């Protein structure tokens, strides 16, 4: 087992998560092997950065929102600067978590273990069924998930259960091979394809995590439309061109909004 692999840096992109970020950071810091927690406050209009720092995270700040991929890259770049500047031992493993996990982030140890042990280069969390804050089932129709899974399968031959899961652990080398990350909400799909194409091992792991699920309201449907756009672009950029363009035309923003009107 490489000493560098056993040192884990947890990276959390965050925007307007002051209600949950402190609990997420606290839980992440207590995970085995986690040496440092970095939060990128991606243009928040609330106290996300302040709450994250108070909980013990190193905070990187974007003055304006630049998207998830840019937030992750900024945090990892900051980690590299600190390691060089301060002579810190290298963290050879990165744990990527969403900011809204709150205390459930404490369950992420099974995600870390296969990577630090050298059995996998990238692990992806498979979450249990989620609920909205109102206690309802999420409002998606499966278009984004289906597009992501189908694209990954056709490009790599591997079929994921959780192609959009943002809860991931990977080696620093795998992260570098997946960089630059696909923009926006395409980051996970692009990362999976790039890591598999590099010949590295990807493993999905069931993890008992809870996050804020997106509902059926207009904001939720617009969020899914942006996801579909970014996922399709990430797949198209990696060679899934004709199918990707067809999917975007068929299940784009107008289709998502039509689905909302029927609900």
Position 160 pLDDT exceeds 60 = yes
- Mean pLDDT over 36-44 rounds to 98
Position 129 pLDDT exceeds 80 = no
Angle of CA points 11, 215, 131, to nearest 5°: 70
Position 64 pLDDT exceeds 90 = yes
CB atoms near residue 130 (< 10 Å): 13
Across-strand partners of 94? Answer: 9, 170
| pLDDT reported for residue 70 | 96
Three-state secondary-structure class, residue 186: helix
| pLDDT reported for residue 258 | 44
> Quick one: pLDDT band at residue 255, thresholds 50, 70, 90?
very low
CB atoms near residue 161 (< 10 Å): 12
Angle of CA points 114, 122, 95, to nearest 5°: 80
Q: Please state which CATH number belongs to domain 8-213.
A: 3.90.550.10
- Mean pLDDT over 102-115 rounds to 97
| pLDDT reported for residue 135 | 52
Q: Order of strands, edge to edge, in the sheet holding 58-62? A: 58-62, 34-42, 8-14, 93-96, 168-171, 122-126, 202-206
- Mean pLDDT over 78-82 rounds to 97
- Mean pLDDT over 40-50 rounds to 98
Phi, psi dihedral angles at 32 (to 5 degrees):
-60, 140
Torsion sign across C-alpha atoms 159, 164, 167, 170 = positive
Average pLDDT over the chain, rounded to whole? 88
Position 137 pLDDT exceeds 90 = no
Given a contact cutoff of 8 angstroms between Cβ atoms, the answer to whether 191 and 182 are in contact is yes
Given a contact cutoff of 8 angstroms between Cβ atoms, the answer to whether 167 and 53 are in contact is no
| pLDDT reported for residue 2 | 82
Cis ω on the peptide bond leading into residue 180 (within 30° of 0)? Answer: yes
Token pair of 74 as six digits: 């900024």
Question: Which DSSP state fits 55?
Answer: T
Phi, psi dihedral angles at 65 (to 5 degrees):
-70, 125
Question: Which DSSP state fits 34?
Answer: E
């Amino acid at each position: 087992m490489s000493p560098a692999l056993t040192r884990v840096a947890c990276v959390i992109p965050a925007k307007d998560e002051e209600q949950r970020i402190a609990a997420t950071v606290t839980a992440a810091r207590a995970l085995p092997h986690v040496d440092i927690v970095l939060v990128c406050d991606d243009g928040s209009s609330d106290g996300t950065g302040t709450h994250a720092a108070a909980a013990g995270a190193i905070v990187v700040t974007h003055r304006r929102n630049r998207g998830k991929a840019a937030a992750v890259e900024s945090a990892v770049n900051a980690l590299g600067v600190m390691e060089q500047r301060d002579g810190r031992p290298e963290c050879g493993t990165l744990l990527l978590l969403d900011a809204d996990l709150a205390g459930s982030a404490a369950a992420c140890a099974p995600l870390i273990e296969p990577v630090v042990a050298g059995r996998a280069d990238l692990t992806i969390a498979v979450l249990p069924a989620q609920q909205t804050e109102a206690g309802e089932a999420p409002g998606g129709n499966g278009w984004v998930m289906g597009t992501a899974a189908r694209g990954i399968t056709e490009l790599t031959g591997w079929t994921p259960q959780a192609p959009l899961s943002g809860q991931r652990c990977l080696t620093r080398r795998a992260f570098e091979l997946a960089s630059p990350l696909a923009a926006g909400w395409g980051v996970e799909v692009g990362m999976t394809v790039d890591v598999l194409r590099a010949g590295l091992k990807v493993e999905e792991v069931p993890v008992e995590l809870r996050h804020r699920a997106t509902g059926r309201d207009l904001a939720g449907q617009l969020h899914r439309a942006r996801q579909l756009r970014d996922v399709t672009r990430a797949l198209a950029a990696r060679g899934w061109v004709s199918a990707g363009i067809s999917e975007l035309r068929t299940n784009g923003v107008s289709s998502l909004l039509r689905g909302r009107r029927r609900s």
